[in-house]
Amino acid sequence: MEEIEGYTVVPLRMSSDALHCHSVYMREHFIRLMDPNKPKGRTLFLLNIPPYVTEESLKGFFKRAGNVESVQFAAKPGKDETIKWYEGTNEPFSNVRPPFIFKVAYVVFQKSSSIGKALAVPSIDLFHSSGESTIKTGMELWHEEYENHYILDAEKTKAQITEYMADYDRRERAAALAAKNSEADADGWVTVGKEGRNAGFEQKESVIGRLEKKRENDTKTKELKNFYTFQIRESKMQNIVEMRKKFEEDKRKIELLKQSRRFKPF
Amino acid sequence: MGKIKKILRKGPPATKRPPKAARTESADSALGLDAHSDLEKPATSSDDGFEEPTPKPKPSKKTTTLPGPVSIIAQKKNKFRTDDAKNVKPPTLEEMKELRDTRNLFHSNLFKLQVKEMLEELQLKTKYTEYIDNWMESFTVFTQRLKDGLVEKSQLEVPLNVDKKISGFIFSKPTKEPQLIGAASTGTLLGPKIVVDVALEMPKDCLHKDDYLNLIYDQKRALYLTYVTNQMRSDPAYSQDKFAFNYHGNNPLKPVLELTPAAKQVSKHLQLRLFITAPQSTFKPSRFVPWNNNIRPTYYNDEWDEEEALPSTQHYNASVLFDLTLAQNQALLDKAFKGRRNFQDGLLLLKVWLRQRELDRGFTGFGSHILASFIVYLNQQRILHQSSSSYQVARTVWNQLANTDWTNGITLAPASGQTEQLSTMAGYYDVCFMDVSGQLNLCANVPLGVYQRVRAEAKLAVDLLNDMKLNSFPYIFMQKCPLYTRVDNILKITNYSSIQQMLVLHSKPQMKYDFASYGYPQLLQILTELLQKGLKQRVQAILPIETVSSAWPVESKAPIIGQAIQLGLILDPEHAYEVLDKGPSSNDDPEGSAEFRKFWGEKSNLRRFQDGSITEAVVWGTTKDAPSKKRLIVRQIVMHLLEHHLQLDSKDIQYIAAELDLVYQLSPWFKVSKVKTKLELQQDTDAEALSPNVIRCYDDLARQLHALDDLPLEIVSISSISPVSRYCEPMPVLPQARMMADHIHASHIQRVIIQLGQSGKWPNELSALRALKTAFLIEIGEKLKAQCRLNWSITSEGLLVLKRGFCFLLELAHNKELALLKQEVTERGVTKYVDNPESRALEQRHYILPKVSGALHSLHQSHSAYGPTVLIAKRWLATQLLDDGIWPPMATELLVAHLYQQRNAPQAIAAPQTGFIRFLHLLAHSDWNGELFLLNFNSSWQEQQIGDLEHSFRSDRQSYPPLALATSYDQQHAGRLWTTGESPSLRILSHVSRLARHALEMIETSLQSKDLRFVRPAQLFRGSSEGYDLVIQLKSDLVPNALSYDLGSPFVSFDQPNYLLPRAGKDPLAAIVHQLRSAYSDYAAFFYNPHGGKELAIMWRPPAVFAPKAFKVTELQACTLCDKGKVQVVRETLVEDFKVLLKDFYLRISTPEELKREQREHQNPKRYFNAKPQDNESCSKSKKRKLAKAAKVQAPLKRKSLIKSRPLKSLS
């Protein structure tokens, strides 16, 4: 068993006769701030997982070391990376897929004793005993992808939509109800909604911007412009400053252009 | 003066001045300084913004401008910066004036500074000027040492071809010193090859009174040149130099000596040309007036009726006069230019402009000496002031060129009631610009077409300068526009016997005398007259495309030139493709009718038209013909005219038009009769002709959608965003989509965007919104089925609808989806809308692309060549193995659209082929880093907006993709919407530039060669197989072939094609390549031909990527363990991965060399008897070696031979 910097290195085999395999680097997952989804002592951390490997295939393989609770991927080790990886993929009616790149995996076992067993495997074999790969690729994958994810069944989809929308409506209603509720919470804070007697304005950037602009305009209209001599003098000065600035800017542009040798006509 | 002094006082302290002064003084003659000194002078601006500074004595200028305005400004700036706005330095009057003038004159400092930079770049190095001065001195001494004597048979050939040679020429030594002439004298020498012209005057003693007749003068001139050359060669001072003769301006009567000095420091870029001239007083001035004859018919043993007046030889006369008046003309130019940096710079600008357009080439060229004389003329006419700035000089010349007409003649000679004579003179020439002596027409050899072209270009230049919205500098000065890229069709006759036949049978005797039997201008005249008459308004201009004659060594015989002709035709897109030429009515004008019949010969028929008129007419096709067929009408006409009038056989002529249109035709393998449809389809149809079918079907579908009953919300707008709708789909789209076993099969899907009416009830959650959208689409589908009986199917992308054999994908666009995608909540709980890649893609597809699509559609309506140009361009890119993933198709469309904007040429492009050549030019010569391609559709963007964008582009170049494209619909995304950092990446961009340069090279050599064949499409439209490391062959039955004309893959020979109809919207190969790129692009680049390519070519990244490296958790991707605790990426492992991903698809993996060898072996067995296995092996070995050497570099020669060896003919 090869080891490097605390990682156990095992080959990842896609078929029994594979000559050139990727190396997977494994160790027990341990960091100071543990993620509740990757519990201490039960999580195996794997580096350099090829892009085509799926959660199911890993789950299937590591079953031999004990029952697997979950397999999670991430682009690189780190906090919140797993959340980023799966962002948008679980929403219905969305075409977002996790990226297709080399990744890291977290295998969470039900028992901590499984870790040792997992670390002792000579190789990660992602094929059935019949020699067939546990991962769908090539024609098979794309056919399945097309049949199951691209083409939708109209009736089933309709049913799914009705169900989802009903659920959505329920949620909306609940939220609306909550918004109307203007009672103070435990700390004494009152959430102000759009409706009701003490409605606040919508917390949108555009709305806030509009309000601020209005205030600015108000002060502007009250101000006298080009009235006092010093103001006129200043605006003239400003003008000159701007023209000079433009000149300088153009000169800088030329410097830039000069670097790319754009002035040789032939 | 006083004002200047004021500046000085504020300038650097007096003690610092001397060193600075010394520096600038030496550079005072430098070109660069001038732009400033022009503006720095005290001036009184007139209303038009042109400054007219009061002239002052030269020496004072020198001293006053010494400290250099730059330093003054810099100092001021520094002061201002340190004191900050609190204490802004009050501007001097000069500064104000300068700032204002810059704005008025140049629009912006930018243009002025760019001009200044360019002039600096053009400035001649002092080593050259010094060398020229020294050379002149020594040459003067040399000429003084020459001795009189009889010219014996020298070893040198006399560089002149004449029928009757004179004998006994006595050389007499020159009495005058040799003079610099032309650019060298006026101080406007222009690199990169600096040609210094020197004139040596033969003394009067050499010439007799009667020498004006029958080319005796020209022979003596040539003999004199030969003698001087001979003497120079034997002189030790010159013996090392390279001697060669050449014709000046492709004129066989004007041999000159081309001397390349051996001196190391200059020999690369410097060349001296020696002209022999004669004193003006040699002959009577009246000898060479245009109406006189100076070459007698008897000279050519022709008979001439004594009674009849001798034919005038105005062009020959002008050629002699050129020598006689040279000194006088040069004196005038010197007077105007010497010491006037502003005029010199102005002329330099104009010369750059002219040379970029290649209008100054050859016998018919509009030489820069004409421009120089024109500047003097304008100065005389008081249109140009003595001290106008260089920019004003150029601008005024363009303006005057565009707005004056020289066909009636203008003259430099002092006016003394010669107007009558001028108009008579002008009658003898197309264009007339008399010189200072009033005898020589400077434009004697310039045909009307070339002159008009110069005018058109000048007008364009003025328009560009006036257009405040763009930086016109690169368009005017930087862009190369060779003549062949500006013409639509090219006629080429190189066959010797055809040329002779035309000259003997069809050239009039007076033309022969006039041009001293020089063939080229005669041919030009014959052909231009005939074609102009036949093509009438179809053609805008017929231009000669000349190649400059090349020098020959002094020992060999002078070559005969002008035995081939190349004409470029600029077509008028409005009229060029009319199918009918109508003659005069046979009743009203029987004579005209008869003439018409005679002119057109058998092609002309008497026809009765719908309006009742009966006239002679020629019909070239039917109005229903496909556009690509109509584009050949002009060719048809030209061929007919040449055959009918000049008895030329069509195989002796090359007419280059629509040679490349083949590539978007329907493949001959696909039998159109198999498609079940009501439409009439031809087997030789093409993508362009098929597009209207799809568009018509789409229009019908849109109508049906609008008419749908009881939809909860009405459909407000429907727009198509597929390339077909803007005539940009290079694949022929046939109506062959159909239902098979409840599934829609289609090779193309046309995307359509639908917008619904307003409603407040859409949900505020992305998923819910999408769910509702899908529900809506299903509803539309059901209604379409019920009301219009159209088949449909719902997909995750939208609604597939099948109509008349075409497949459409309907998508719903909704504002709220975009808003929800952009929505972000800040920490303070404020909702913000921020662009992200996903929202940008959605906005592009749903809102911006429909608008751009519409704009491009209308562009095609006004320029019918736009669509086909895009088709050729897209096909070319595809055959170079560049698919949509690395080169976005919209980039092609927008770049081509950019070419069709008016600013690139005075005329719109009428032929797709020319459009494609210009596209290649754009790819080959663009400065991607510095240029932002902006398409201002309908000029909807204002100056301010454009300025802001360009400013942001320049100051923040890094945030824009390598290829920056913007349209006026892009809003805040301008410059970042159509391309990204990866597609195309910098690497791909430079790869494409290289490919384009290579393709252009092929086209250029083919145009310049005497061979009567244009580049075959197979040469251009098949990628190179060089440079790839691996080729993955795919199973050919799994990848359907493209319907367009296939010119073969670079790797394997033709295979049985398959035209499987895939399921609609399914393109697994593209999806897999996308996967491969996203995972492995750090280690390899992937290429394939998206138009039915069956190989995937792979290029590994540089070896450094695969080198062992230290173990790092974050950089462990794809690494396997190797020795000493290091890790590395192993290529074999990656290949295994490719195999996994391409499971079921790949046939095998091999290197290109292996494939090639196998291909050869595969073909060889047919030749049992002369097969030489040894040869074969050594050949492949050498190839391998070469390949290793020139890895990734194109090997054009090898490639050509490879292409030739292919049995391509079997296709057609």
3-state secondary structure chain A: CEEECCEEEEEEECCCCCCCCEEEEEEECCCCCCCCCCCCCCEEEEEEECCCCCHHHHHHHHHHHCCEEEEEEECCCCCCHHHHHHCCCCCCCCCCCCCCCCEEEEEEECCCHHHHHHHCCCCEECECCCCCECCCCHHHHHHHHHHHHHECCHHHHHHHHHHHHHHHHHHHHHHHHHHHCCCCCCCCCCCCCCCCCCCCCCCEHHHHHHHHHHHHHHHHHHCCCCCCHHHHHHHHHHHHHHHHHHHHHHHHHHHHHHHCCCCCCC
Residue predicted with more confidence, A251 or B324: B324
Probe site for chain B from A160, A262, A264 (most B CB atoms < 10 A):
A262
The predicted pLDDT at position A186 comes to 77
- Angstrom distance (rounded) from CA B455 to CA B193: 27
* Cα–Cα distance, B1061 to B1063 (Å, whole number): 7
Across B93-97, average pLDDT: 77
Q: HSE (CB half, 13 Å, CA atoms) of B583?
A: 29
What is the chain A residue with the closest CA to B1138?
A138
Nearest CA in chain B to A15: B1140
SS (H, E, C) B1079-1136: HHCCCEEEECCCCCCCEEEEEECCHHHHCCEECCHHHCCCEEECCCCEEEECHHHHHH
Report yes or no: B728 and B687 within 8 Å, Cβ to Cβ.
no
pLDDT higher than threshold 80 for residue B54? no
**Considering CB atoms only, which of A22, A151, A164 is closest to B795?**
A151
Cβ atoms within 10 A of the Cβ of B1018, count? 18
Q: Which are the contacts of B62, defined by CB distance < 8 A and separation ≥ 6?
A: B25, B28
| Strand, coil or helix: B201 | strand
What average pLDDT score do residues B373-378 get? 90
Question: In the prediction, which pLDDT does B154 show?
Answer: 63
Best residue in B97, B109, B119 for a mutation probing chain A (most A CBs within 10 Å): B109
Q: Higher-confidence residue: B415 or B139?
A: B139
Q: Which helix (H) or strand (E) holds B223?
A: helix B216-234
- pLDDT tens for B178-210 read 888 888 888 888 878 888 889 888 888 778 777
When pLDDT is cut at 50, 70 and 90, the band that residue A238 belongs to is confident
**Minimum-distance CB partner of A256 among B954, B1114, B1143:** B954
pLDDT of residue B699: 94
The answer to the question of residue A211 being in a domain is: yes
- Does the CA dihedral B291-B294-B295-B296 come out positive or negative? positive
What is the domain-level CATH number for residue B255?
A: 1.10.1410.10
Say yes or no: A20 contacts chain B, CB-CB below 8 A: yes
- Cα separation, A13 vs A23, in Å, equals 9
**Confidence at residue B52, expressed as pLDDT on a 0 to 100 scale:** 37
Name the domain count of chain A: 2
Lowest mean pLDDT, pick from A256-260, B813-817, B918-922, B1167-1171: B1167-1171
**What band does B1190 get if pLDDT is binned at 50, 70 and 90?**
very low
Asked if residue B1126 has pLDDT above 50, the reply is yes
Task: Calculate ∠ Cα B709-B713-B719, nearest 5°.
Answer: 90
Whether the pLDDT of residue B870 is over 90: the answer is yes
- Statement to judge: residues B411 and B523 lie in one domain: no
Q: Which residue has the higher pLDDT, B874 or B516?
A: B874
Confidence of residue B718 (pLDDT cuts 50, 70, 90): very high
Query: Burial of B120 by CB count in 10 Å (0-12 exposed, 13-18 middle, 19+ buried)?
Result: middle
Nearest alpha carbon to residue B412 among B320, B315, B335: B335
In which band, very low, low, confident or very high, does the pLDDT at B1125 lie, cut at 50, 70 and 90?
A: confident
Domain hosting A216: range is 205-252
* Type of residue numbered B361: R
| Residues A18, A131 within the same domain | yes
Q: Residue B37 domain-assigned? A: yes
Radius of gyration of chain A from its Cα atoms, rounded to whole angstroms: 31
Cβ contact, residue pair B1143, A137, below 8 Å: yes
- Alpha carbons within 13 angstroms on the beta-carbon side of residue B452 total 11
B1112, two tokens = 């790092």
| Phi, psi (rounded to 5 degrees) for B752 | -130, 135
Does B856 reside within a domain? no
Please determine, for residue B46, whether its predicted confidence score (pLDDT) is greater than 50.
no
Last residue of a domain, one of A102, A135, A168: A135
Cβ-Cβ contacts under 8 Å, B832 against chain A: 204-205
- pLDDT of B1052 above 50: yes
Question: pLDDT tens digits, residue range A194-224?
Answer: 666 666 677 778 888 898 999 998 888 887 7
Residue A217 to residues A203, A210, A226, B911, Cα–Cα distance (Å):
21, 10, 17, 57
Q: Chain B: give the shortest CA distance to residue A65, in Å.
A: 24
pLDDT at B855: 92
- Cα separation of B1193 and B1084, whole Å? 17
Q: Spell out which residues of chain A touch residue B1068, defining contact as CB-CB under 8 Å.
A: 139, 142-143, 146
Cα–chain center distance at B754: 40
The answer to whether residues B748 and B807 touch, using CB atoms and an 8 Å cutoff, is: yes
> Is residue B1054 included in any domain, yes or no?
yes
Q: What is the pLDDT of residue B1112?
A: 84
> Across the interface, do B832 and A50 touch by the CB < 8 Å criterion?
no
Helix (H, G, I), strand (E, B) or coil at B800: strand
Q: For residue B417, what pLDDT is reported?
A: 56
A25 close to B (CB below 8 A)? yes
Partners of B1138 on chain A (C-beta within 8 Å) are none
Look at residue B419 in the predicted model and tell me its pLDDT: 60
Give the residue on A whose Cα is nearest the Cα of B351: A265
Judge if A126 and A246 occupy the same domain: no
Task: Return the pLDDT at B698.
Answer: 93
Nearest residue of B to residue A74 by CA position? B1114
pLDDT digits (tens, 9 = 90+) for B209-241: 777 888 888 888 888 888 888 888 888 888 888
C-beta atoms of A150 and B795 within 8 A: yes
Q: Are B1062 and B1017 in contact (CB under 8 A)?
A: no
Asked if B581 and B607 touch (Cβ cutoff 8 Å), the reply is no
Report, as an integer, the average pLDDT of A159-181.
86
CB contact under 8 A, A265 and B477: yes
Do B867 and B995 fall into the same domain? Answer: yes
* A110 and A21 part of one domain: yes
Q: Which of A95, A100, A139 is opposite residue B1143, by nearest beta carbon?
A: A139
Pairwise pLDDT comparison (B517 vs B88), residue with the higher score: B517
In a domain, A232, yes or no: yes
- How would DSSP label each residue in B10-64? HSS-GGGHHHHHHHHHHTTTSSHHHHHHHHHS-EEE-TTS-EEEPP--HHHHHHH
Asked if B50 and B92 sit in the same domain, the reply is yes
Q: Residue A262 and residue B1125: Cβ atoms within 8 Å?
A: no
Q: CA–CA separation, B872 vs B572, rounded Å?
A: 21
pLDDT tens-digit series, residues B401-411:
989 888 888 88
A189 lies within 8 A of chain B by CB: no
**pLDDT level of residue B895 (50, 70, 90 thresholds):** very high
Q: Which of residues 33-52 of A touch B (CB under 8 A)?
A: 47-48, 50-52
The answer, yes or no, to whether residue B1097 has pLDDT greater than 60, is yes
Average pLDDT over residues B146-166: 74
- Look at residue A233 and tell me if it is in a domain: yes
Question: Which among A94, A118, A135 is the end of a domain?
Answer: A135
Domain boundary among A105, A135, A165: A135
> In CATH, what number is assigned to the domain containing residue B687?
3.30.460.10
Chain A nearest CA to B1096, separation (Å): 14
Q: Contact B165/B220 with Cβ under 8 angstroms?
A: no
B327 pLDDT higher than 80: yes
Would the CB atoms of A22 and B118 count as touching at under 8 Å?
no
Under DSSP, is residue B715 helix (H, G, I), strand (E, B) or coil? Answer: strand
- pLDDT confidence bin for B107, thresholds 50/70/90: low
Residues A7 and A125 in one domain: yes
Residue A74 structure tokens:
């991430």
Q: Is A19 on the interface with B (CB under 8 A)?
A: yes
Q: What's residue B856's pLDDT?
A: 93
The continuous run of DSSP H or E covering B1000 comes out as helix B986-1008
Residues B204 and B227 in one domain: yes
pLDDT digits (tens, 9 = 90+) for B875-889: 999 999 898 889 999
Are B507 and B477 contained in the same domain?
no
Q: Look at residue B48 in the predicted model and tell me its pLDDT.
A: 37
Taking an 8 Å cut-off on Cβ atoms, the answer to whether A92 and B478 are in contact is no
Q: What is the pLDDT of residue A1?
A: 65
Structure token digits, residue B1099:
């290029």
Cross-chain CB nearest to B1113 (options A47, A160, A168): A47
Cβ of residue A224 closer than 8 Å to a chain B Cβ = no
Is residue B36 scored above 70 in pLDDT?
no
In a domain? residue B847:
no
Residue ranges making up the domain that contains B509: 485-579+620-657
What whole-number distance in Å separates Cα of residue B289 and Cα of residue B321? Answer: 9
pLDDT of A181: 67
B341-356 and B32-40 helices cross at what angle (nearest 10)? Answer: 130
Of A22, A241, A250, Cβ closest to residue B110:
A250
Q: Same domain, yes or no, for B1037 and B999?
A: no
pLDDT at A163: 92
Shared domain for A131 and A209, answered yes or no, is: no
**Residue written as tokens 């007919």?**
B640
B286 and B366 both lie in a single domain = yes
- Share of residues in chain A with pLDDT > 70 (%): 91
Of A22, A76, A151, the CB nearest to B1133: A22
User: What contacts B491, CB < 8 A, 6 or more positions away?
Assistant: B527, B531, B566, B567, B568, B569, B638, B653, B654, B655, B656
Contact criterion met (CB < 8 Å) for B1114 and A5: no
In a domain, residue B196? The reply is yes
Q: Identify whether residues A116 and A213 lie together within a single domain.
A: no
Residues B647 and B677 in one domain: no
Percent of chain B past pLDDT 70, that is, above it, reads 87
Q: In this structure, are B388 and B452 located in the same domain?
A: yes
Distance from CA of A203 to the nearest CA of B (A): 5
User: What are the tens digits of pLDDT across the range B1072-1095?
Assistant: 898 899 989 889 999 998 888 888
- End-to-end CA separation in angstroms for chain A: 65
Chain B residues touching A145 at Cβ < 8 A? 1071
Question: How does residue A234 score in pLDDT terms, banded at 50, 70 and 90?
Answer: confident
Q: Do A154 and B830 touch (CB under 8 A)?
A: no
Residues with Cβ < 8 Å from B1098, sequence gap 6 or more?
A: B1028, B1029, B1030, B1031, B1032, B1084, B1085, B1086, B1087, B1138
Is B1179 among the domain residues? yes
Tell whether A9 and A124 lie within a shared domain: yes
Task: Please tell me if residue A78 touches chain B, with a CB cutoff of 8 Å.
Answer: no
Coil vs helix vs strand at B141: helix
For the record, the structure tokens of A125 come out as 């074999």
Residue-wise pLDDT for B661-674, tens only, equals: 888 888 888 888 88
Last residue of a domain, one of B1008, B1036, B1051: B1008
Task: Tell me what the mean pLDDT of segment B96-117 comes to.
Answer: 71
Closest residue to A203, CB basis, from B764, B830, B1136: B830
Pick from B983, B1008, B1033: which residue ends a domain? B1008
Classify residue B976: in a domain, yes or no.
Answer: yes
Residues of A within 8 A of B85 (CB-CB) are 237, 241
Above 60 in pLDDT, residue A69? Answer: yes
Burial class (CB in 10 A: 0-12, 13-18, 19+), B1104: exposed
∠ Cα B47 B51 B53 (to 5°): 130
B539 three-class SS: strand
- Judge whether B937 and B967 are in contact, CB under 8 Å: yes
Q: Which of B108, B352, B828 sits opposite A250 (nearest CB)?
A: B108
Three state DSSP letters for B90-130: CCCHHHHHHHHHHHHHHCCHHHHHHHHHHHHHHCCCHHHHH
The answer, yes or no, to whether the previous bond of B984 is cis (omega within 30 of 0) is: yes
CB B843 within 8 A of CB B973: yes
Chain A residues within 8 A of B1136 when measuring between CB atoms? 14, 18-21
List pLDDT tens digits, range B581-620: 888 887 788 888 888 888 888 888 888 888 888 888 888 8
Answer with the residue of higher pLDDT: B91 or B638.
B638
Per the CB < 8 A criterion, the answer to whether B411 and B438 are in contact is yes
For B262-273, give one letter per residue: b (16+ CB within 10 A) or e. Answer: eeeebeeebbbb
CA distance A135 to chain B (A): 9
Cα–Cα distance, B385 to B379 (Å, whole number): 6
Q: Note whether A138 contacts B1063, CB cutoff 8 Å.
A: no
A201 in contact with B at a CB cutoff of 8 Å?
A: no
Going by DSSP bridges, is the β-strand pair A22-28/A7-13 parallel, antiparallel, or unpaired? antiparallel
What mean pLDDT value characterizes chain B? 80
Pick the last residue of a domain from B56, B77, B106. Answer: B106
More confident: B215 or B153: B215
A192 in a structural domain: no
More confident residue, B438 or B1162: B438
Does B1062 score more than 70 pLDDT? yes
How much of chain B is in helix, strand and coil states, percent to nearest 5?
A: 50, 15, 40
The domain tally of chain B equals 6
A-to-B residue pairs, Cβ atoms closer than 8 angstroms:
223
Same domain, residue pair B449 and B562: no
Q: What is the CATH number of the domain that holds B511?
A: 3.30.70.3020
Between B1175 and B192, the more confident residue is: B192
- Evaluate the CA torsion angle A91, A95, A96, A102 in order and state its sign: positive
**Which of B88, B355, B1119 is the closest to A241 by Cβ?**
B88
Instruction: State the ipTM, two decimals.
Output: 0.85
Are the C-beta atoms of B69 and B20 separated by less than 8 Å? no
> Which residue carries 């862009």 as its tokens?
B479
* A31 in the same domain as A122: yes
Grouping H, G, I as helix, E, B as strand and the rest as coil, residue B305 is coil
**Are B327 and B442 within one domain?**
yes
Is A142 within 8 Å of B1140 when comparing Cβ atoms?
no
Other CB atoms within a 10 A radius of the CB of residue A83 amount to 12
Reported confidence tier of residue B88, pLDDT bands at 50, 70, 90 = low
CATH number, residue A39: 3.30.70.330
Residue B479's closest chain A neighbor by CA? A265
**Residue of B83, B106, B1140 for testing the chain A interface, max A β-carbons within 10 Å:** B1140
Span B673-694, pLDDT tens digits: 888 888 888 888 888 889 999 9
pLDDT of residue B18: 40
pLDDT reported for residue B386? 83
